[in-house]
Amino acid sequence: MKESEETIDNQLRKPTKKPTLRWIFQLFEDVHYVKIEEDNNTRFEVENIRPDGETALKLLGSDYMDYYLLSES
């Protein structure tokens, strides 16, 4: 985060470049991988990713973005 000058909000909603690992894990607590079946089609979605979680994934790289079904745009 330091190298990219990115920040995420900490538990007190203040921007930080040094979040705790516990906080990073908490950003993903409510994220769900959902399987949806409609008309003989199956698709998957990832629900409830917080904006700061997306920022963390972006900084980790495309392998992590792909895992959460996000593409770099």
Residue 15 lies in a domain: yes
Q: Which residue range forms the structural domain that includes residue 24?
A: 8-67
Range in 1-5, 19-23, 31-35 with the lowest mean pLDDT: 1-5
- For the residues 56-71, what does the mean pLDDT come to? 90
What domain count does the chain have?
1
* Cβ within 8 Å of residue 24, ≥6 positions away: 56
d(CA 35, CA 42): 7
**Residue 72 has what pLDDT?**
61
Residue 22 within any structural domain of the chain: yes
Residue-level pLDDT at 30 = 94
Characterise 46 by phi-psi region: left (phi > 0), alpha (psi -120 to 50), beta (else). Answer: beta
Q: What is the average per-residue pLDDT within 47-54? A: 94
Residue 13 lies in a domain: yes
32-51 mean pLDDT: 95
* pLDDT value of position 47: 95
- Domain membership flag for residue 33: yes
Give, in degrees to the nearest 5, the angle at Cα 66 between 38 and 9: 110
